[in-house]
Amino acid sequence: MAGVRLTDVRKSFGDVHVIKGVDLEIDDGDFIVFVGPSGCGKSTLLRLVSGLEEISSGQIEIGNEDVSRTEPSERGVAMVFQSYALYPHMTVYDNMGFGLKMTGHSKEEIDQRVQKAAEILELKPLLDRKPAAMSGGQRQRVAIGRSIVREPKVFLFDEPLSNLDAELRVQMRLEIAKLHSSLDSTMIYVTHDQTEAMTLADKIVVLRAGIVEQYGSPLELYDNPDNEFVAGFIGSPRMNFLSGEVTSAKAGSATVTIPNLDGLKIPVSTRDRKPEKGEKVKVGMRPEHFVDAASTKHKFKAPTSVVEQLGGNSFLYLNIGDGEQLTVEQKGHTSVRDGQVATVGVDPSTTMMFDSAGLRV
Ligand SMILES: Nc1ncnc2c1ncn2[C@@H]1O[C@H](COP(=O)(O)OP(=O)(O)OP(=O)(O)O)[C@@H](O)[C@H]1O
Ligand SMILES: [Mg+2]
């Protein structure tokens, strides 16, 4: 087992700069999730850690050892990809043991490790099967088993569940969580799935265009994003951003007027600095943070364009002028119908403010 440290890691392909100076300190045994828009460099960063791709500059340490120029096979990492790429003509047992056979491990050693991995992954009854006779989830478990038998210091997963259907994903997500708690190894995991990121991660790395926007626990990022990008990226459906103007400010809080919400004035806590009176800001409100209008004096009215009833909760999509749209989540069923005017309450304590550069105010 080992922690991982990246120091000013950069990667260019020709003159295309993909990773632009990443510093990361990953503790031994932590489960780290990389998220970010498509093309931001998640897979590239993972491949740099694995050694499948060579860094252009900077340093990568695994377990306090500089592995920046070390061969992938010498780094003590194992990578699991989205496509499981099992050998179709081999049994589950042979698929899992093949890598060890190639590296000259004894039959006894291979057997012991394969049996142990099969036990952890509940693959024992399937050891004699061939991949064609297994479900997607079972095949993905074999692919994970293949990495477990190598007893790596660090596991690297690149969207391992994205080929699975929704139900299997949930099941495999739980299995990966169990795997992490039973192996206690450092894991780095790339995903597009909000729920996977929030539930699996000890810490999430939000990447944008090759730069780390924020690194912290899932709830730190959700409750306390540093900027508009992270605020919009973490949380589903995404946070609403409304144009507003600061009408007064003192240390720790400011009053903001939101023209598109009938000129609603609300007090918003400030975190990083005192804004200027008259400053144009973006006000951030998560769909799930609106409240019953009867419970607050901070409320507004707006026409709904669409109402979605999901049973356990409902979404109202409101047109609020200037083409701005607002998503409001309500618990349970809603009595609001498409096209009706809804009255919605705002909770100032969960409202955030961002400046014109997108930084938290
Ligand atoms: N071998 C390469 N040569 C040139 N450009 C590359 C190469 N590999 C990746 N890139 C570029 O680097 C950028 C980051 O790619 P990467 O695969 O890391 O993105 P990603 O965040 O994993 O995206 P996705 O979510 O779509 O998987 C992309 O713009 C991609 O086109
Ligand atoms: Mg990728």
User: Where residue 264 sits, what CATH number does that domain have?
Assistant: 2.40.50.140
For ligand 1, is residue 335 a contact (CB within 6 Å)? no
Q: How far apart are CA 267 and CA 253, in angstroms?
A: 7
Percent of the chain whose predicted confidence (pLDDT) is above 90: 83
Residues 212 and 300 grouped into a single domain? no
- Residue bearing the bigger pLDDT, 161 or 22: 22
Q: Edge-to-edge strand order for the sheet containing 253-258?
A: 264-269, 253-258, 240-250, 280-285, 352-354
Pairing verdict, β 65-66 and 57-62: antiparallel
Residues 304 and 276 grouped into a single domain? yes
pLDDT at site 164: 80
pLDDT at site 183: 87
Average pLDDT, the chain: 94
Task: Say yes or no to pLDDT of 1 above 80.
Answer: no
Percent of the chain whose predicted confidence (pLDDT) is above 70: 100
Nearest Cα residue to atom 18 of ligand 1: 41
For ligand 1, is residue 43 a contact (CB within 6 Å)? yes
For ligand 1, is residue 39 a contact (CB within 6 Å)? yes
State the distance from the centre of ligand 1 to the C-alpha of 151, rounded, in angstroms.
28
For ligand 1, is residue 113 a contact (CB within 6 Å)? no
> Which single residue is written with the structure tokens 């004894």?
106
Secondary structure of residue 333 in the 3-state scheme? coil
Average pLDDT over residues 147-160: 92
The pocket of ion ligand 2, defined by CB under 5 A, consists of 43
Residues 245 and 298 grouped into a single domain? yes
What atom of ligand 1 comes closest to residue 34's alpha carbon? 21
Final residue in a domain of this structure, among 233, 251, 281: 233
Residues 260 and 348 grouped into a single domain? yes
Average pLDDT over residues 275-286: 97
Query: Which neighbouring-strand residues pair with 283?
Result: 242, 353
Confidence band (pLDDT; 50, 70, 90) for 85?
A: confident
Query: Domain range spanning residue 157?
Result: 4-233
Question: What pLDDT digit, counting tens, does each position of 68-77 carry?
Answer: 999 998 999 9
Confidence band (pLDDT; 50, 70, 90) for 172?
A: confident
Q: What is the number of domains present in the chain?
A: 2
Question: What pLDDT digit, counting tens, does each position of 102-153 carry?
Answer: 989 999 999 999 999 998 888 999 999 999 999 888 898 899 999 999 989 9
Residue 128 lies in a domain: yes
Residues 109 and 43 grouped into a single domain? yes
pLDDT at site 313: 96
Question: What pLDDT digit, counting tens, does each position of 227-256 carry?
Answer: 999 999 999 999 999 999 999 999 999 999
**CA-closest candidate to residue 260, choices 215, 324, 203, 204:** 324
Task: Say yes or no to pLDDT of 179 above 80.
Answer: yes
Residues 212 and 269 grouped into a single domain? no
For ligand 1, is residue 18 a contact (CB within 6 Å)? yes
Contact criterion met (CB below 8 Å) for 357 and 279: no
- Which run of H or of E encompasses 342? strand 341-345
Final residue in a domain of this structure, among 233, 265, 300: 233
pLDDT at site 274: 93
* Residue to mutate, 40, 46, 189, ligand 1, most ligand atoms under 8 Å from C-beta: 40
Final residue in a domain of this structure, among 165, 200, 233: 233
Residues 115 and 199 grouped into a single domain? yes
For ligand 1, is residue 40 a contact (CB within 6 Å)? yes
Residues 183 and 256 grouped into a single domain? no
Nearest Cα residue to atom 7 of ligand 1: 13
User: Which string of DSSP letters, residue by residue, matches 1-25?
Assistant: ---EEEEEEEEEETTEEEEEEEEEE
Question: What pLDDT digit, counting tens, does each position of 296-353 carry?
Answer: 999 999 999 999 999 999 999 999 988 889 999 999 999 999 999 999 999 999 999 9
Residues 202 and 278 grouped into a single domain? no
Residues 55 and 146 grouped into a single domain? yes
- Residue bearing the bigger pLDDT, 162 or 283: 283
pLDDT at site 14: 94
pLDDT at site 162: 85
- Residue bearing the bigger pLDDT, 322 or 49: 49
With helix as H, strand as E and coil as C, how does 116-184 read?
HHHHHCCCHHHCCCCHHHCCHHHHHHHHHHHHHCCCCCEEEEECCCCCCCHHHHHHHHHHHHHHHHHHC
pTM above 0.95, yes or no: no
The one-character DSSP state at 263 is T
Q: How far apart are CA 17 and CA 55, in angstroms?
A: 11
State the distance from the centre of ligand 2 to the C-alpha of 39, rounded, in angstroms.
7
Q: Edge-to-edge strand order for the sheet containing 16-26?
A: 16-26, 4-13, 57-62, 65-66
